[in-house]
Amino acid sequence: MLAIMTLLDWLRPAPPLDAATQRLVARTVAAVDPLIGQVGGHERKLAPAVRQAFDYCAGIAELIPGPIEISRGAFATDPLVHALFGSADAIETMLATSQCVREHLPAMTLDGGRCCALLGMRPHEKHGFGTALAGEIVRTDVPQKTLYFTDHTLAEPSPDADTARARLGEVLFDGLLKGFASHVADVRATHADLHKEEAVARAKARAAGDPETHTRRLEKLRAELSATADALRPERLLDTLVKALSDPAPYLRLEPMRIAVDRTGVITEAATAGDSDVLEFAVLSGRDQRRWVVILALINRDDARQALERFESARRYIVI
């Protein structure tokens, strides 16, 4: 009886995928290669990997520090904001020149006059020499490293932190898909280039008095063509995509960064920080290995509007 029930369970069709997972699978196929949708059983094969990758991205969005107020007042009182910007004026310049602010902020319905957006910037260390006190002696040739940030960029504004994190999870997932789609496009371009090289090599082999060298070249090109053609088959793309989405960490990760700096940005030893501040960041990196320090930033709509107005006024003055 138990054997019959087990057989019946095995023969019973699997329950249908839930609507949310179906949408994620369809979104994945459309972003990477619609031909994957022609592979039999692709939905069930993709579903666990897609759900794993989406939950992973949502988890990263939850771990991004913040929300943290970004304003002139915060620059004076918050050591983290002070470290992220070279001056209070730099905050205003960022707001005034941000495409995100220009396109989205004025029209948004905000929570308490503020919005929450992703703020990313590139971390750098500058090596040089400075002064330090050694007992009662002031030394002026002490090697120092200074922490500073560039390319401050705002993105994905939302009325509140919960909405921002939900939106960022979606954006990070789409970024994973775009990265894989870019890889597929590169393989297609390589395959097309190999076709051209193979045609040239074939012509040279026919015209050569000593065809052996050209024959070896042709054999190599044909092997490479075969490998790229195989990699582009929808069945193979499906397998590769499942493998990548099942373990997305190599393509997208958020890593903690803990560092002690003084008010001038000079990096100090955390154990002997003294008057320095120990700052904790999160560094986001993707397939291209570029590193962004990221936070959820609270932006005051009035601050942004005033920054835009001052910027436009100054620009009109310069033009006149």
State pLDDT tens for residues 161-213: 999 999 999 999 999 999 999 999 999 999 999 888 888 888 877 776 555 66
Coil, strand or helix: which one is 320?
Answer: coil
With respect to residue 34, please indicate whether it lies within any of the assigned structural domains. Answer: no
Number of domains in the chain: 1
State the pLDDT confidence band at 315, using cuts at 50, 70 and 90. low
- Amino acid symbol at 152: H
Taking the C-alpha atoms of residue 210 and residue 22, their distance in angstroms, rounded to an integer, is: 58
Instruction: Read off the tokens for 233.
Output: 């088959």
**Residue 308 CA: distances (Å) to CA of 107, 267, 301, 304:** 14, 34, 11, 6
Residue 109: per-residue pLDDT: 63
Length of the chain: 320
Domain that holds residue 294: 68-169+251-319
Residue 11 pLDDT > 70: no
Q: pLDDT at residue 110 above 80? A: no
Q: Are 28 and 51 in contact (CB under 8 A)?
A: no
pTM here? 0.83
Average pLDDT value for the chain: 85
Does the pLDDT at position 46 exceed 80? yes
What confidence score (pLDDT) does residue 268 get?
A: 83
Q: Give residue 4's Cα distance to chain centre.
A: 51
Q: Is the residue at 309 inside a domain?
A: yes
pLDDT score, position 49: 96
């930033």: which residue's tokens? 297
Q: Is residue 60 a contact partner of residue 296, using CB atoms and an 8 Å limit?
A: no
What 3-state DSSP class applies to 240? helix
Q: Which of 9, 37, 33 is nearest to 22 (CA)?
A: 37
Residue-level pLDDT at 10: 47
DSSP 135: T
Confidence at residue 163, expressed as pLDDT on a 0 to 100 scale = 93
pLDDT at 319: 47
287 in a structural domain: yes
Asked if residue 22 belongs to a domain, the reply is no
Q: Does pLDDT of 151 surpass 90?
A: yes
Indicate the helix (H) or strand (E) that contains 215.
helix 211-231
In a domain, 225, yes or no: no
Average pLDDT over residues 236-252: 94
Q: Is residue 43 part of a domain?
A: no
Q: Would you say 230 and 236 are in contact if contact means Cβ atoms under 8 Å apart? A: yes
CA distance 261 to 275: 9
Is 228 a member of any domain?
Answer: no
Q: Could you give the CA distance from residue 224 to residue 211 in angstroms, rounded to a whole number?
A: 20
Average pLDDT over residues 127-145: 70
pLDDT surpasses 80 at 111? no
Which residues does residue 139 pair with via DSSP β-bridges, in sequence order? 132
Phi/psi at 291 (nearest 5 deg)? Answer: -110, 130
Separation CA 277–CA 280 (nearest Å): 10
Residue 314 has pLDDT above 70, yes or no: no
Instruction: State the pLDDT at residue 4.
Output: 54
Q: What is the mean pLDDT of residues 77-104?
A: 91
Which 3 state secondary structure label does DSSP give 110? coil
Please tell me which residue, 251 or 319, carries the higher pLDDT value. Answer: 251
On whether residue 208 sits in a domain, the answer given is no
